[in-house]
Amino acid sequence: MAGSFSWVDLVALVVSTASLGITIAIFFLGRRLSFRQQRERIRELEAKAWEVLGPIRNEGLNSKIVVMNVARYKRGYDGSNKMTWRGYAYTGPELIEIVHGGVEVVIKGVSSYYDAQGRRTLAKTENPAPTVIESGHIPWAWIEDIARDGDEFDGAPIFFVRHRAPGRQPYDFITYREGLPVPFGLNNRDYYSPIPELGTWRPRFIRDWFRFVKLMWQNRKMEENVRRACYSRLGQPPPNRQ
């Protein structure tokens, strides 16, 4: 067979490979949206996001939303939230802002301190400062859709998001805001003042994947301990896993 291979065959193979490459390139270029299409998509998502944020500000409705992991949802969602290698199925932050690049949510509260110069810092010192909130930014490009009325498992609005940051996170960056809101605007809505001096947290590949794997291992360990404790209370040895 090797002796029958000719230069004609080699050229045909090269041409076929090049044609396949061009076909793939055209396919992916065709999937890219033009700037106008991108703007139309963002306007659609903005309108849906305001349908959620408007009643929160004007009517005092609950600000909780569900940030759904698209990769998990597409594989069958049953309301559970067990962690897998694709991350958690969902999280439940609070929606606080719609900004130019996406939406911002409250992730959690964290302790802050004053340094020797009286500036705010997250590094622990002997001078505690008011609690601050982590504000996660979800870009429009990662949001696939918004379901204002939730679903059969949760009535909170659902933001379907691709978790593209390292470690299966839905935020492309995190900033910090004052934990206590102040009245703002005609309706005296809650406004959480940004704290620029605390900086911006941005995803890092090695650090965040290491943290993800560590959390995954801890969850598996905890599940195994609970499983063994349940069988221990029943006076039975746990079955061997296949």
Residues 159, 42 within the same domain:
yes
Q: Give the per-residue pLDDT at 161.
A: 98
The answer to whether position 6 is within a domain reads no
Q: What is the pLDDT of residue 120?
A: 95
| Domain of 74, in residue numbers | 33-202
Instruction: State whether 138 and 192 are in the same domain.
Output: yes
User: Given this model, what pLDDT does residue 26 score?
Assistant: 47
Neighbours of 39 (CB within 10 A): 12
- Check whether residue 197 and residue 212 sit in a common domain: no
C-beta contacts of 107-113 below 8 A and 24+ residues apart: 107/133, 107/134, 107/135, 107/136, 107/171, 107/174, 108/133, 108/134, 109/133, 109/134, 109/179, 110/134, 110/176, 112/176, 112/195, 112/198
d(CA 48, CA 53): 9
> Residue 233 carries which DSSP code?
H
For residue 26, being part of any structural domain is answered with: no
At 27 the pLDDT is 47
| 172 and 73 part of one domain | yes
Domains: count for the chain: 2
Question: With the CA atoms of 165, 134, 181 and 42 taken in that order, what torsion angle do they form, in degrees rounded to the nearest 10?
Answer: 0
Does some domain include residue 128? yes
Q: Do the domain assignments include residue 176? A: yes
Note whether 81 and 166 are same-domain residues: yes
107 and 210, same domain (yes or no): no
Residue 227: HSE in the Cβ half-sphere, 13 Å Cα cutoff = 11
Q: Is residue 14 part of a domain?
A: no
H helices then E strands: how many in the chain? Answer: 4, 11
Predicted confidence pLDDT, tens digits, the chain (242 residues): 445 556 655 555 565 665 555 555 544 544 566 788 888 999 999 999 999 999 998 888 899 999 999 999 999 899 999 999 999 999 999 999 999 999 999 999 999 999 999 999 999 999 999 999 999 999 999 999 999 999 999 999 999 999 999 999 999 999 999 998 888 877 778 889 999 999 999 999 999 999 999 999 998 888 888 877 776 776 666 666 54
pLDDT for the residue numbered 227: 76
Question: What residues form DSSP beta bridges with 226?
Answer: none
Position 59 scores a pLDDT of: 85
Is residue 59 located within the same domain as residue 165? yes
Same domain assignment for residues 65 and 180: yes
